[in-house]
Chains A and B, each alone.
Chain A
Amino acid sequence: MGPLKGVKIVELAGIGPGPMCAMLLADMGADIVRVDRTEDARLGMGHNPKGELRNRGRPNVAVNLKTPQGVETVLRLIDQADGLIEGYRPGVMERLGLGPDICLKRNPKLIFGRMTGWGQDGPMANVAGHDINYISIVGALHAIGPKDGPPVVPLNLVGDFGGGGLYLAMGLLAGIIEARTSGKGQVIDCAMTEGAASLMTMFYGLKAMGRWKETRESNTIDGGAHYYNVYRAKDGKYVSVGCGEARFYALMLEKIGLGDAQDLPPQLDQAQWPAMKQRLQKIFLTKTRDEWAALMEGTDACFSPVLNFEESIQHPHNVARNAFVTVDGFTQPAPAPRFERTKSEIRMPPSVQGEDTDVTLKAWGFSDAEIAALHKVGAVKQNVRD
């Protein structure tokens, strides 16, 4: 059981970063209840809820938040919780009767975690948006991509996940540590714009010192340098090379047959980077990806084959470390990071909406009679796993 055993969290079902945050905490052993809607929230998209891996590790309770009994049910869960995760637009929780004032009055040590794209205030606060928009206004998207092309979308790893789910998870745990000493909770305003900006901190520093160019593919680690880049191999697959340090760079050159070349410019001569990239590209085209891997992987040349999902699951290093685990037929990334004594684990596969309503309400202190009464007024719903 993970380190967060006994930490109780209420998650109001949303999309994107909120579920990711809850997944991380559940993987680490937190006792989480996911409060879902009673209406069918599948939106006709034909989703298989069993494959919604972000929902793994915690029970799903369907509650009708439009009924006073439903709201009171959630408040009773929140009364017992260390933390709350919600991702509505600003003001929605307040309108539901679940705002921070009400919740913190009932449970003064509650950490009220609010996950949004733009934050709780500011001119954009009430505007719709997604990851791609949030990372647009903090310089992250602008910096990713080729020099002669448009910015490239890094999936939703920088806003939703890295800059969202992770910042809220970290913030909640910091808040809980403080609340356990002070006895006082608080609100966390977690904006994906600012999480993404925080991830970009180093680049703001480099820029201020004149060491970062605002042109894509013109810096050391944005694809500008030949020694930190991706190359196509003979079979159309790709390899990555990331050797900043002189001794690793020397080893890389040796491995690709340039160890004795007399006409090489200094590694850090930026004017020569484009020419060096072309030169290295020609060389990498002479062998297949796996031939290069046989030559370079495991050495200090800072080399890797660029693998797709299928290949990643089978890579010997990932296999040796059990980096992927299979649960309920789905092979998926294992909980991270790894704790030596209190081991994290995936305690259950993703639940279907309302699948665990009765058993979970019971575990959170509701009597059978109370649960029956909630069903009678349509405040909660128990669904079956199909």
Chain B
Amino acid sequence: MGPLAGVRIVEIAGIGPGPMCAMLLADMGADVVRVDRTEAADLGMKRDPKGDLLNRGRPSVAVDLKSKEGVETVLRMIDQADAVIEGFRPGVMERLGLGPDICLKRNAKLVFGRMTGWGQSGPLAHAAGHDINYISIVGALHAIGPAGGAPVPPLNLVGDFGGGALYLAMGVLAGIIEARTSGKGQVIDCAMTEGAASLMTIFYAMKAMGRWSEERGTNAIDGGSHYYTVYETKDGNYVSVGSIEGKFYAELLQKTGLDKVAGLPAQSDAAKWPEMRERLSKIFLSKTRDEWCAIMEGSDVCFAPILNLEESMAHPHNVARGSFVKVDGIMQPAPAPRFDRTKCEIQKPPSVPGEDTDKALAAWGFSAAEITALHKAGVVKQNPRV
């Protein structure tokens, strides 16, 4: 059982970073309950919830938040929680009767984690948006892409996940540490814009010192240099090279045969990067990806084959470490990071909305009679697993 055994979290179901945050905490052993809507199962989304891996590791309770009793049911769970996670637009929790004032009055040590794209305040706070928009206004999207081309969205890894879920998970844990000493909870305003900006901190510094060009694809580590970039191989696959340090760069030159060429420009001579890239491109095109692996992988060139999802699960290093695990028939990334004593585990596969309603309510202190009464009033719903 992970390090967060005994930490109780109420997650108000949402999309993107909230579920990812709850997954991370559940992977680490937290006792999380996901509060889904009673209508959620009836949205006509035909997809099998088994593959919604962000919902793994915790039960789902379906509650009608439009009824007074439904809200009171959720409040009773929040009363017992260390933290709540929600990702509605600002003001929605308040309108539901689940705002921080009410929750913190009932549970003074509660950490109230609010996950939004733009944050709880500011001119854009109430506008709709997604990852691609949030990372647009903090310089992250602008910086990613090929030289001379359009910016390329890095999936939703920088806003939703890296800059969202991870910042909230970290923030919630920091808040719990503090609350356990002070006895006081508080609200966390976690904006994906600002998490993404925080991830970009070193680039703001480099820019200020004149060491970063705002032209995409022209810097040392944005694909601009020949020694930190991607090359195509003979078989149409790709490899990555990240030989920043002089001694690793020397190894790259040696393994590509360039060490025998006289008059090569200095590694850091940015004016010569395009020329060197062309040279290396030709060399890498002369062998297949796997041939290059045989030559370079495991050396200090700083090399790796670029693998798709399928290939990643079969890579010997990932296999040796058990980086992917199979749960309910689906191979998926294992909990990270790894604890040597309180080992993390995936507590259960993703639940269908409302699949665990009765059991989870019982575990959170509702009596059988109370649960029956809630059903009778149509406040909660128990759904079967499809």
Contacts and interface: CB of A to CB of B under 8 A. Distances in A.
Chain B: interface size category: 35 or more
Given A170-B169, A321-B191, A333-B198, A308 B214 contact: yes
Contact of A203 (B133, B145, B155, B241): B155
Nearest to A145: B152
Interface stretch (A91-99, A263-271, A324-332): A324-332
A198 B204 contact: no
A97 to B, nearest CB: 20
A51 B169 contact: no
B336 to A, nearest CB: 4
B166 to A, nearest CB: 4
A175 B221 contact: no
A223 B194 contact: no
Nearest to A28: B174
What does DSSP make chain B's interface, helix, strand, loop or mixed? mixed
B19 to A, nearest CB: 9
B190 A298 contact: no
Interface in B202-218: 202-209, 212, 214
A338 B323 CA distance: 32
Contacts of B342: 175, 178, 186
Contacts, number: 510
Contacts of A153: 144, 221-223, 228-230
A378 B245 CA distance: 28
Given A127-B299, A222-B153, A177 B3 contact: yes
Contact of B197 (A130, A131, A312): A312
A318 B237 CA distance: 41
A354 interface: no
Interface residues of A, number: 147
Given A163-B162, A309-B214, A337-B194, A248 B128 contact: yes
A339 B142 contact: no
Contacts of A297: 124, 127
B198 A194 contact: no
Nearest to A334: B194
Contact of A244 (B3, B130, B198): B130
B273 to A, nearest CB: 14
A152 B223 contact: yes
B174 A3 contact: yes
Contacts of A238: 142, 150-151
Interface in B70-100: none
21 contacts: A121-B321, A122-B321, A130-B242, A133-B302, A158-B158, A173-B173, A184-B341, A188-B339, A189-B338, A191-B321, A194-B338, A208-B51, A221-B156, A223-B152, A230-B132, A238-B142, A238-B151, A241-B132, A297-B124, A332-B201, A337-B195
Interface of B: 2-7, 20, 23-24, 28, 47-48, 50-54, 118-119, 121-124, 127-134, 136-146, 149-158, 161-163, 166-171, 173-178, 180-181, 184, 186-191, 193-195, 197-209, 212, 214, 221-223, 228-232, 238-242, 244-245, 248, 297-312, 315-318, 320-321, 323-324, 330-342, 350
Given A132-B229, A137-B307, 19 more contacts: A53-B205, A122-B320, A131-B221, A142-B238, A149-B146, A155-B200, A162-B158, A170-B337, A177-B177, A184-B341, A201-B20, A201-B333, A202-B161, A221-B153, A307-B142, A312-B137, A317-B193, A333-B138, A338-B194
